[in-house]
A and B are shown apart, each in its own frame.
Chain A
Amino acid sequence: NAGVTQTPKFRVLKTGQSMTLLCAQDMNHEYMYWYRQDPGMGLRLIHYSVGEGTTAKGEVPDGYNVSRLKKQNFLLGLESAAPSQTSVYFCASSYIDNTEAFFGQGTRLTVV
């Protein structure tokens, strides 16, 4: 059972480039989340989804877009990467909100 899988695991971007991070879960969870983790700041919610075809903004949504076209996938896009977006990105899913969230292993993104 794979759980939550994130691709890629590492990426280096130049300022202004775009990219998409993919999150896939095989637990039939309704809720999916994208967080960023920065030193000393814990995890901050970027965007989340309460089901297929829905998305909503979290705490730090600026500069990011998301899509949930299929229940099992949640994509995070950076249209024009900035150095401030250098971070570790985590995807998570849960059956319903505020229950146990299952996390992927993270994507380390560096924007130079």
Chain B
Amino acid sequence: AQSVTQPDIHITVSEGASLELRCNYSYGATPYLFWYVQSPGQGLQLLLKYFSGDTLVQGIKGFEAEFKRSQSSFNLRKPSVHWSDAAEYFCAVGAEPSGSARQLTFGSGTQLTVLP
């Protein structure tokens, strides 16, 4: 069964500082990997996804993530954090679409606080 671990429950950074959120997954084959962001009182919004190809993927709002198969990781990064980035971030893993439904498995989330 697939699983996702986000080791950091809460991270605090200063505005303008760089950010890295960790995500480790467990899956037997090539995973489909996602990062979602949830602002307070809102639903989840997709930041970026990895299916195949270039292991460094770019997303919205200046975020990027790097797939490292050898480390089973898909860490999310941003060079310079803005106060509006304060939110909860979820990593998710899924199987390759095959015509039969496979569920996404979400991590428990990392809450990001941005200090002025």
Task: Convert A4-16 into 0s and 1s, putting 1 for each residue whose CB lies closer than 8 angstroms to a CB of B.
Answer: 1000000000000
B28 within 8 Å of A by Cβ?
no
What is the number of residues of chain B that contact chain A, defined by CB distance less than 8 Å? Answer: 27
B103 & A90 in contact (Cβ 8 Å cutoff) = no
Proximity string of chain A (96-110) to chain B, C-beta cutoff 8 Å, 1 when within and 0 when not:
111111011110000
Q: Assess the B46–A31 pair: CB atoms within 8 A.
A: no
**With A100-B49, A105-B41 as given contacts, are A42 and B90 in contact (CB-CB < 8 Å)?**
yes
Provide the residues of chain A in CB contact with B109, threshold 8 Å.
40, 42
A48 B103 Cβ-Cβ under 8 A: yes
Q: Which residues of chain A come closer than 8 Å to B45, judged between CB atoms?
A: 103
A22 at the interface (CB under 8 A from B): no
State the CA gap A70–B101 with chains docked (Å): 18
Which one of A41, A90, A97, A100 contacts B101 once the chains associate, using CB atoms below 8 Å? Answer: A97
Asked if A59 meets B103 with Cβ closer than 8 Å, knowing A42-B109, A97-B94, A98-B32, the reply is: yes
The one of A40, A98, A99 in contact with B9, judged by C-beta atoms closer than 8 angstroms, is: A40
A103 touching B43 in the complex, CB below 8 Å, given contacts A40-B108, A43-B106, A97-B94: yes
Chain A residues with CB below 8 A from B46, complex form: 100-101
Q: Which B30-55 residues sit within 8 Å CB-CB of chain A?
A: 32, 34, 36, 41-46, 49
Contact status A96-B106, CB under 8 Å: no
Are A4 and B103 closer than 8 Å at their CB atoms? no
Binary B-proximity of A76-97 (CB < 8 A = 1, otherwise 0): 0000000000000010100011
Q: Which of B4, B42, B90, B96 contacts A98 (CB 8 A)?
A: B96
Chain B residues lying within 8 Å of A106, measured Cβ to Cβ, are 41-43
Contact B9 A43 (CB under 8 A): no
Interface residues of B in 52-105 (CB under 8 A from A): 90, 94-98, 100-104
- Hey, which bits of chain B sit against chain A, CB under 8 A? 4, 9, 32, 34, 36, 41-46, 49, 90, 94-98, 100-104, 106-109
Query: Footprint of B on A, CB under 8 Å?
Result: 4, 31, 33, 35, 40-45, 48, 50, 56, 58-59, 90, 92, 96-101, 103-106
